[in-house]
Amino acid sequence: MVPPVSSERSFSRTLVVLLRDLVFIVIAALVVSFLIKTFLIRSFYIPTESMESTLARDDRIIVSQLTPRVFPLERGDVVVFVDPGGWLSLQVGVSENDPLSRVLNGLSMVVGLSSPNDNEHLVKRVIGLPGDTVECCDELGAMTVNGVPLSEPYLSLPEGVNKVSSEDFSVTVPEGSLWVMGDNRYNSADSRRNTDKPGGGFVPVENVVGRAFVISWPSERWQWLGNYPETFEGIESRDPSRSPE
């Protein structure tokens, strides 16, 4: 006759199985979060007013890393990119002071959606693609891309001001680079303000982390982020890599 297994031994075996399963679950979660962060999405918070009123300070955004890895960048995309060199010295940022923002940032780091070096990134809107000639301003105060004037509904301008840039400029975007600008045009350290930095104010495409597609926090600010295709309609591409064969 087989002696009965003691309750203590049964409990120990159950505990071992539970711990083993827990370890597997944690490892699987870490692998999934690593893959998500590496290939799909990341979370960033907005430290300045440079993209108002599209993005407000302390908004949290979700960024798709499939752009530009899989899908091409488009004019009007809101992108997060690594500082090309010296841009952040002009940006007056703030830390996440409210407790909820700190908790969200901590949770994002735990699941792999954000990382401690996220403050080395900037967020702006793509205005010029490789080969584009971006000029400002025409007689109506508008900016043009390849000679086509833009009507930019996303802009935040000082009251009574129609000119979309505080200074005039004319640039041609080099191959493999972007010309980016903030929606808060008179309060944005964007391409215009960094022409004396490495790259001449242009952002290498390889520096782009991804395209912001949604405001995820705070809940009352939740919304999809579009790229306003109607604003850039009719602009012919001057990028040889996009031209049809």
Q: So which residues are the catalytic ones? A: 50, 124
Q: Which residue's structure tokens are 């990382």?
A: 115
Q: Which residues does residue 79 pair with via DSSP β-bridges, in sequence order?
A: 124, 211
Report d(CA 15, CA 32) in Å as an integer.
26
Please, are residues 173 and 132 in contact by the beta-carbon 8 Å criterion? yes
Distances in Å between the Cα of 186 and the Cα atoms of 24, 93, 105, 166, 181 are: 52, 16, 29, 6, 10
Distances in Å between the Cα of 36 and the Cα atoms of 39, 84, 212 are: 5, 25, 15
| CB atoms closer than 10 angstroms to residue 130 | 21
The radius of gyration of the chain from alpha carbons, rounded to an integer in Å, stands at: 23
Distances in Å between the Cα of 120 and the Cα atoms of 44, 83, 87, 116 are: 11, 6, 10, 9
Q: Which residues does residue 208 pair with via DSSP β-bridges, in sequence order?
A: 81
Report d(CA 122, CA 134) in Å as an integer.
21
Report d(CA 173, CA 110) in Å as an integer.
38
Report d(CA 151, CA 157) in Å as an integer.
13
| CB atoms closer than 10 angstroms to residue 112 | 19
